[in-house]
């Protein structure tokens, strides 16, 4: 501010004409004062941006830590709910038990040498359907079976995949001996617990000294 005042007092005074270099010095001083003011503003903006970036980084770091703290493993189960009536077959037939679906894709059928999971019922085809475990649902594909594959009351088209959600009914050709309820089991796993157990075991071991 002092430099600006000096330049104004010189412009109003009745002084003889000065060399051409003097006004340029005054302009340089005034421009320097503007630059100084601008320089004072720049660090404030940088500080504000740095605080925002730190807050954003802290939020990301917290979300990553929470996601890594626990893992969820999903297991699909087919619970047999049929009445076991075998009169339509004409011979005694044992009721199948519940089936736990492993991860990946598996086939379901009557013959053990052809299917991954066996339902020993004559009305079930040798290789009846394909099951694939997903996180939210079970994917079911009919493999051109004789008596069909049903989700609820809807018969699936052969070769066309369909989603079976938890609680839905899945039938492999026989509503008495091959009808199941789809169940989803979730298990919470904490990877840090085994590591803590190993650390405690090492501490309890006697030293060799």
Over residues 83-107, the pLDDT tens digits come to 999 999 999 999 999 999 988 899 9
Q: What is the DSSP letter of 174?
A: -
Compute the distance between CA of residue 131 and CA of residue 180 in angstroms, rounded to an integer: 13
How high is the pLDDT of residue 95? 92
- On the question of pLDDT at 51 being above 90, the answer is no
Query: Which residue is associated with the tokens 């699909």?
Result: 76
3-state SS track over 87-106: CCCCCCCCCCCCEEECCCEE
Question: Which DSSP letter does residue 161 get?
Answer: E
Phi-psi region of 148 (alpha: psi -120 to 50; beta: other; left: phi over 0): left
pLDDT tens-digit readout, 136-192: 999 999 999 999 999 999 999 999 999 999 999 999 999 999 999 999 988 776 665
For the beta carbon of residue 2, count every other beta carbon within 10 angstroms: 7
Strand-strand pairing, 105-109 and 117-118: parallel
């Amino acid at each position: 501010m002092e430099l600006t005042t000096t330049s104004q007092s010189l412009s109003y005074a009745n002084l003889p004409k000065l060399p051409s270099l003097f006004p340029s010095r005054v302009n340089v001083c005034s421009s320097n004062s503007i630059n100084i003011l601008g320089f004072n503003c720049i660090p404030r903006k940088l500080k504000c941006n740095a605080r925002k970036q730190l807050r954003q980084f802290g939020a990301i770091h917290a979300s990553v830590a929470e996601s890594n703290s626990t893992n969820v493993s999903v297991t699909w189960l087919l619970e047999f709910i049929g009445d076991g009536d075998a009169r339509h077959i004409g011979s005694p037939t044992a009721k199948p038990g519940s089936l736990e679906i492993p991860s990946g894709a598996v086939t379901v059928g009557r013959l053990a040498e052809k299917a991954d999971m066996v339902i020993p019922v004559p009305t079930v085809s040798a290789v009846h359907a394909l099951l694939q475990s997903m996180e939210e649902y079970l994917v079911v594909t009919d493999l051109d079976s004789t008596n069909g594959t049903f989700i609820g009351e809807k018969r699936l088209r052969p070769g066309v995949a369909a989603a079976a959600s938890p609680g839905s009914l899945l039938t492999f050709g026989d509503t008495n001996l091959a009808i199941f309820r789809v169940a989803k089991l979730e298990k919470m796993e904490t990877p840090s617990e085994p590591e803590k157990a190993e650390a405690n075991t090492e501490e309890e071991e006697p030293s060799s000294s």
